[in-house]
Amino acid sequence: MTLIKRLHFVAGFSGVIIFLLTGQYMHQQHDHLQGMPNDVRMLFRSAHIYFLLASIINLTAGLYWFQFPQRHKVILQYIASAFLLVAPFFLLLGFFTEPHMTDLVRPYSRIGLYALFGAGVVLSYLGFAKTNLKSAE
């Protein structure tokens, strides 16, 4: 297993464990979000689900990380991997800080979600799609 593949797998697997622990945190420390204003509840719940999303994407990347023979595609995949690996950190930071911010701002979740989709998924697809399209012809 390559180092980057192992990093994705560990980040994803530990992220799923942290997701379960943050669920317990909401239950134990915040009475399962009962009695909270709806906006704060929404921020906690969405941040919780966003973190699970990032963890599952990393877990999947750890299982299916490909290495391409073309150098530019390998570089593209390493950049995508870096974004996928940092996304859970921003989303977890958002989970603990954003519900307590005013005006429903989401500065950390925004960065994490952009990293997941824009850089991680799109860059991975661009590196993977052209290789598969050419091999199918």
Ranges of each domain in the chain? 3-136
Do 97 and 109 touch, CB atoms closer than 8 A? no
- For residue 37, which amino acid is it? P
Q: What is the pLDDT of residues 1-14, one digit of tens each?
A: 588 889 999 999 99
The token pair at 11 is 């980040």
Q: What is the pLDDT of residues 8-43, one digit of tens each?
A: 999 999 999 999 999 999 999 999 999 999 999 999
- 71/97 Cα distance (integer angstroms): 40
pTM of the model: 0.82
Q: What is the pLDDT of residues 57-66, one digit of tens each?
A: 999 888 877 6
Q: In Å, how far are 20, 36, 100, 119 from 84, measured between CA atoms?
A: 20, 32, 26, 8
Q: At 30, phi and psi to the nearest 5?
A: -125, 25
What number of other Cβ atoms are within 10 A of residue 133's Cβ?
9
Report the candidate in 48, 39, 47 with the shortest Cα–Cα distance to residue 104. Answer: 39
Residue 123: per-residue pLDDT: 80
